[in-house]
Structure 1
Amino acid sequence: MSRPRLMNRPPSLLKRVVFDGYDFGLQLQYVEGANRLLLERDGYFIRRAEHPLYRYWRLSKNKLFEEPDLLYQQLMELADGRFTESWQSFNRKLEQAQASPDRQAFTWGMVFRIAPLAQGGVLLSGDYHPGMVAVARRMRGTFLGPSRSWRIDASPELVRSNLILELGLAEEQFEILDTLQELLSDGSVASAEAITRINLGGAPAERQAVSLEDSSTDLYLAAVPSIERTKYTEAEIEQALASHSLLPHQPAGIRHLLQRTSALLADDMGLGKTRQAIIAAAIRAEGHPILVVTLSSLLINWQREIQAVYPEARIGQQTFDASVQWMVINYERLADYVLQAEHFRVMVIDEAHRLKEPTAQCTRHGFDIAAKVPNRYLLTGTPVLNRETELHTLLRLSGHPVGQLPLKEFCEQFAGSPEFRKNLRDAIGDWMLRRRKDVLPGLKGKQRQTVPVVLGEEQRKEYDAIRACDQQPFARLGAMRRLLERAKVPVVMELLAELDVADKAILFCEYKETVGVLKQLCESAGMGCVTLVGSDSVTKRQKAIDRFQQDDETRVFIGTTSAAGTGNNLTAANYVFFLGLPWTPALQDQAEDRAYRNGQRRLVVVKIPLVEHSIDQQLWQLLLDKRRLSQELIEPDPVAAAKAMQTTLVKVL
């Protein structure tokens, strides 16, 4: 006899289960009150009708496995007999889904963005998925809370490949941003709203919010002592400075440092910040050891400057020596001095904007040392490279009350508008002293001139081919910038040929190969030249600088902006050429001011060739936008400052 068939049997409560390795998708019968149970477990109901898992509940495996039997019992109680489901069948469906995971279950419609960082590596953001978080963590990424993104020290191709392997994503689920991103203070990233973006073809990628709830946003930095006023009176400082030969503006800078346990001296490049800091540190240290942190390329310069003021000074470089009074190291050596920090009375941090990124190891080590040194002097002519938030870490490093504010509160009070930036200037006015070059009456001014360049027919075809090719955007960007830099070489050589025999020029390039090409052309034209690139040793760099400064026959200094654009004194030059532009106005200013600084007695002319109908013009506008923001923040009167700088923008026709 056949088994009787059950009629009108209640349907199963749990209709279907999917699992992607991280989350479960539960398709349930409608049960009133079930949504409350699932929301309590951080469940998410998929409401988009076009989604393949429409009307599924998405639930983390960790939340589901906390008490799965309790969830089952609660659901069955709410069902009140309208659906059938045993605990065994409920659990079996979960186990079957786990045994056959579908890694693409929740990736429908998701988009992930990869952007190149100016500091190196990439920035990963986009729609939230725990698999993306897992990939970022495996690649030792750092989560940046303010920008809701991950910084990963890897190539964009490797990041994308790992995401595809992990989540089965399609190529069209990735967006590659066209512009380099600037990593700012406390992990925030420069916003593009107020800054020109470089368009490499097609519509620019759209910015969207990202939710990464289960990632850490904490960035540990050692607590630095709060700034305090020192005991020095005006009369005591005046007496201490009586034996020094100083420019009229320099005693005020020394006084600014001495009257506080920590302060920022933000004088324009070429006003003698090094000399002022050396004298202030020596007075404050009272014979105790002093630690100076600077760039590798400036180690010799600091040693010379110290000896110029104190010829008998005992100076050590790089390797710790307890017997010397002055220890001069570069940023890469900071980790070696954390344990010796208490040995020093004063810490001088040259080019302090290098510590604006709190996720960098050198910043963490810098804070570890500063926490144990009672006096901390910060020096930089460019306290703001892109955004006002970049001051936040420096304020924190000094122990300033504004630096103790959470970044979100800091931005709410001081960022985003000229009025807020004025409030920030007022709040830090006692901490930051900044003078422009108008305090040096001997300077004749600086003049910027853009020079239009037209590509030849073959060069235009090559440029358009690069722009239209299927390479990644940042690969195309680099290829286009290299092409444009090559195209400017003959233009710059013609301009050099027009200079007077008494003129000297600095040529800044972005690429090392261009330096080599220019060197050969200058030598063939009978123009003495020297070069400086990143691979040169400190000794070789100094020899090139000394020869350019002292030898009348050496008329051209050729270098990459990254290697030659900071710290060096090149006042023998009265012309500066940029074959490629840096990404921030501060870097451009620093490079220009290798010539425009104390000791310069001629008008400095800066010539900037720009290729018509190319990314050159977009990058130039980007620099103008960033320059406006910086002026609003650190210049109390941009109009007066611009007048004092005697800087004009002239388009040479």
Structure 2
Amino acid sequence: MLMELAGCNATQATLTMKLRPFTTAADFRTRTRKQKGVGNNMMDTYLDVVTGMGEVDKVLGECEQIGRELNGIMQVWASGAANYIRKQPAGVPDNIHLKDYQMLGVNWLNLLYRRGTSCILADEMGLGKTAQVIALLAHLKATKEPGPHLVIVPSSTLDNWMREFSVFAPDLVVRSYYGSQGERYELRGELRAMDDLDCVVTTYNIATGSPDDQKFLKRKMDFKVTVFDEGHQLKNSESKKYKDLMQVRAEWRLLLTGTPLQNNLQELVSLLSFILPDQFRDANESLRAIFKVQPGSATNLLSRERIMRAKKMMTPFVLRRKKAQVLKDLPSKTERIEYCAMTDLQREVYEEAIQRSRRALVAAPSTKMGNKADTTSSAHVLTDLRKASNHPMLFRRLYDEKTLRLMARDCLKEEEFLDRNKDLIFEDMEVMTDFELHRFCLTYKHLNKYALKNDEWMSAGKIEKLQELLPAMKARGDRVLIFSQFTQVLDILEVVLDTMELKYLKLTGQTAVSDRQNLVDAFNKTDDITVFLLSTRAGGLGLNLTAANTVIFYDCDYNPHNDKQAEDRCYRIGQTRQVDIVRLLTKGSLDEAMYELATTKLKLDAEVSGQQQAPTAKAEGQSTAEGDAAEDTGSAEKRMKKSLLSGLKQQFERETQSKS
């Protein structure tokens, strides 16, 4: 308790307790200031927290009053009274049939709009948040509440939003504000002159970009409703994006997110402050003080109090449904882990990465590494180990120095390299991976002889597992999504699938926005394309890939919510088959620690939303990570990296001590 209330560590808490009893606050300050190793700001931190609790109580009172009013209205709905929109809004085509929970969502949004209370629609991905929003806008037009409205989306979902408008409300006049600087200049004039404009759809990059774009969206247009898709992008109240978008004028704000609480309770407060600045403005600093959680016991009173208070603030303004609650006809989903044994070369590569990691984490700062390959800072330790867990060709082991010098010499025979220096070419190739060098050799006539000839890309633990799984999946008619964090892994997988003679498509962050929907359509409509390769974060937001019924995670994301969103590309409305989630973990590698931490991280959403998390895959002998994800202090990625690095350092130190 002292660690949380006073913001101190375990050592400071122990030393402070030995100084008890204290007669006054001044006595506490004086004696702790004199005690070496304690510090003198604990009392100030404690007073900030206590004061913050009082301020938050005022905000909670307002939130609870709003909640009581909303609950009263919704209870009247349940009794069959008036004021509930029972028919689909005019403007939604007759061939579209909104589900009951979606109609409830439209009613909830309409209720809060009429009250002028901004909110968050946080339905789990795949439940049709886009359809509910468009239906609301169609209802507003039908009830003489004209726009224009503004929808701000990630670039990757712009085309999808425009398509959804044409499907769910074709009569709405919708224009995208996107394109080159010159095209946007023309659009600004056109949009301002339109009397019948219902909605403008633009991207976060443009809405926070040039002064002309910001001026147009903030001052020149009088938007009634502003929708922020993937609203968890606004979780950091100190970011430029957050501050810029706070300036967009709108009578009512709506955030859409499938992950209302990604990292910590402070982020939830940032989201609520964004949609309800008037309610939260005066208590903002107090909220930050009490929700600035510190690592500590998962069971202490203050952690439970924070979670309870977050729930109270969250309830009136957030509508959150999960598929298991509302889609009774959705097929089942199974999850399992497939452990993969390292190949001999991969084991060597991983052990070398471990040794570089050991030097980076526990060696004295003055230690000098012998060569470039050994120079590994702690920032690169995790990437090094993750790459070794994935595939040995992400390093250079097959192309030795002698071969590289021969390749550098033969490069001079190519027209592109006629005026280049052989030594500089060698230096460039020296830092390339085996796979990059192999592809480089295939590009040039005089280097073809150095290309790998024995399908070396097939030699990795996870690749051998895919060779076992994919043919059986194809035989059953399964359609497979394979996700990875590393674009070079996806490049290797392309060659692997070619070797296995399996048809595939690939979408990464380098894929043009204009091509992404075409790839999705091609996969959904072409049954003989077995595999779709995707990078977990890029281009996947809002993509509907229900043609697939199997998801394979080649590696984990630092933020497990991103993996959850990835699997929901196919586990959503429209899915008719059982969905299988397969996670590949390399035995004895960093993969296992990452997965264990990820399962811990996912507890926070369940804690705050008050709902139980779906069971996670558990293999025989697998341990369950303990801890309370509510204690996250930064982003999920930074948090996990810090934990992994700390665990590795402790492991190395124990090994050193046992040898001495």
TM range (shorter): 0.5 to 0.7
Q: CA deviation at 1:368?
A: 0.8
Q: CA RMSD in A?
A: 3.3
Question: Structure 1 residues 506, 475: closer, same or farther in 2, change over 3 A?
Answer: same
CA contact (8 A) 1:449 1:652 kept: no
In the alignment, is residue 456 of structure 1 matched against residue 343 of structure 2? Answer: yes
Partner residue in 2 for 1:180: none
Larger % of helix: which? 2
Residue 249 of structure 1 aligns to a residue whose secondary structure is helix
Partner residue in 2 for 1:607: 582
Structure 1 window deviating more from structure 2 (241-250 vs 324-333): it is: 241-250
In the alignment, is residue 271 of structure 1 matched against residue 127 of structure 2? Answer: yes
CA contact (8 A) 1:291 1:328 kept: yes
For 1:218-275, what per-residue CA distance to the aligned partner results, in whole angstroms no more than 9, with x for missing partners? xxxxxxxx99999999645516635442111111111111112311111011000001
In the alignment, is residue 397 of structure 1 matched against residue 274 of structure 2? Answer: yes
CA contact (8 A) 2:89 2:139 kept: no
CA contact (8 A) 1:338 1:368 kept: no
Question: Structure 1 residues 523, 237: closer, same or farther in 2, change over 3 A?
Answer: farther
For 1:362-382, what per-residue CA distance to the aligned partner results, in whole angstroms no more than 9, with x for missing partners? 21111111xx20011111010
Supply the distance in 2 between the matched residues of 1:331 and 1:621 (Cα, whole angstroms).
34
Partner residue in 1 for 2:457: none
For 1:166-220, what per-residue CA distance to the aligned partner results, in whole angstroms no more than 9, with x for missing partners? xxxxxxxxxxxxxxxxxxxxxxxxxxxxxxxxxxxxxxxxxxxxxxxxxxxxxxx
Residue 562 of structure 1 aligns to a residue whose secondary structure is coil
Supply the distance in 1 between the matched residues of 2:286 and 2:486 (Cα, whole angstroms).
38
For 1:292-320, what per-residue CA distance to the aligned partner results, in whole angstroms no more than 9, with x for missing partners? 11111101110011111222332222244
Question: Structure 1 residues 48, 257: closer, same or farther in 2, change over 3 A?
Answer: closer
- Return the TM-score normalized by structure 2: 0.60
CA contact (8 A) 2:135 2:169 kept: no
What is the aligned counterpart of 1:589 among 556, 564, 567? 564
For 1:94-134, what per-residue CA distance to the aligned partner results, in whole angstroms no more than 9, with x for missing partners? xxxxxxxxxxxxxxx9xxxxxxxxxxxxxxxxxxxxxxxxx
Residue 430 of structure 1 aligns to a residue whose secondary structure is helix
Supply the distance in 2 between the matched residues of 1:305 and 1:611 (Cα, whole angstroms).
40
Supply the distance in 1 between the matched residues of 2:546 and 2:512 (Cα, whole angstroms).
22
Supply the distance in 2 between the matched residues of 1:407 and 1:452 (Cα, whole angstroms).
47
Supply the distance in 2 between the matched residues of 1:619 and 1:535 (Cα, whole angstroms).
26
Residue 597 of structure 1 aligns to a residue whose secondary structure is coil
CA contact (8 A) 2:89 2:138 kept: no
Residue 602 of structure 2 aligns to a residue whose secondary structure is helix
After superposition, where does 1:119-518 map in structure 2 within 5 Å? 235-238=82-85, 241=88, 243=90, 244=92, 245-260=97-112, 261=116, 262-284=118-140, 286-317=145-176, 318=178, 319=184, 320=188, 321-322=191-192, 323=194, 324-335=197-208, 336-341=213-218, 342-369=221-248, 372-399=249-276, 401-402=279-280, 405-409=283-287, 412=290, 417-438=303-324, 439-469=326-356, 470-486=375-391, 487=460, 488-499=462-473, 500-518=475-493
| AA at the equivalent of 2:283 | L
Residue 258 of structure 1 aligns to a residue whose secondary structure is helix
Partner residue in 1 for 2:520: 545
For 1:519-577, what per-residue CA distance to the aligned partner results, in whole angstroms no more than 9, with x for missing partners? 22223323221100101112211111111111111111101111144211011111101
| AA at the equivalent of 1:454 | A
CA contact (8 A) 2:86 2:103 kept: no
Partner residue in 1 for 2:605: 630
What is the aligned counterpart of 1:621 among 596, 612, 618? 596
Question: Structure 1 residues 588, 576: closer, same or farther in 2, change over 3 A?
Answer: same
Residue 429 of structure 1 aligns to a residue whose secondary structure is helix
| AA at the equivalent of 2:259 | T
Supply the distance in 1 between the matched residues of 2:491 and 2:321 (Cα, whole angstroms).
37
What is the aligned counterpart of 1:649 among 617, 634, 641? 617
Question: Structure 1 residues 648, 453: closer, same or farther in 2, change over 3 A?
Answer: same
Supply the distance in 1 between the matched residues of 2:589 and 2:215 (Cα, whole angstroms).
48
Partner residue in 2 for 1:54: none
Structure 2 unaligned blocks of 5 or more = 1-32, 38-44, 46-64, 179-183, 294-301, 357-374, 392-459, 622-660
CA contact (8 A) 2:156 2:540 kept: no
CA contact (8 A) 1:393 1:403 kept: no
Question: Structure 1 residues 298, 504: closer, same or farther in 2, change over 3 A?
Answer: same
Q: CA deviation at 1:419?
A: 4.2
Question: Structure 1 residues 386, 413: closer, same or farther in 2, change over 3 A?
Answer: closer
Q: CA deviation at 1:350?
A: 0.6
Q: CA deviation at 1:648?
A: 4.6
Supply the distance in 2 between the matched residues of 1:305 and 1:362 (Cα, whole angstroms).
26
Partner residue in 1 for 2:552: 577
Residue 241 of structure 1 aligns to a residue whose secondary structure is coil
Supply the distance in 1 between the matched residues of 2:35 and 2:88 (Cα, whole angstroms).
74
Supply the distance in 1 between the matched residues of 2:385 and 2:618 (Cα, whole angstroms).
26
CA contact (8 A) 2:150 2:227 kept: yes
Supply the distance in 2 between the matched residues of 1:338 and 1:422 (Cα, whole angstroms).
41
| AA at the equivalent of 2:562 | L
After superposition, where does 1:11-22 map in structure 2 within 5 Å? none
Residue 269 of structure 1 aligns to a residue whose secondary structure is coil
Q: CA deviation at 1:609?
A: 1.1
Residue 389 of structure 2 aligns to a residue whose secondary structure is helix
Supply the distance in 2 between the matched residues of 1:404 and 1:314 (Cα, whole angstroms).
39
CA contact (8 A) 1:414 1:424 kept: no
Partner residue in 2 for 1:560: 535
Supply the distance in 2 between the matched residues of 1:609 and 1:280 (Cα, whole angstroms).
42
Residue 452 of structure 1 aligns to a residue whose secondary structure is strand
For 1:25-62, what per-residue CA distance to the aligned partner results, in whole angstroms no more than 9, with x for missing partners? xxxxxxxxxxxxxxxxxxxxx9999xxxxxxxxxxxxx
Supply the distance in 2 between the matched residues of 1:296 and 1:563 (Cα, whole angstroms).
10
CA contact (8 A) 1:289 1:326 kept: yes
Supply the distance in 1 between the matched residues of 2:377 and 2:478 (Cα, whole angstroms).
43
CA contact (8 A) 2:480 2:551 kept: yes
Question: Structure 1 residues 47, 427: closer, same or farther in 2, change over 3 A?
Answer: closer
| AA at the equivalent of 1:376 | R
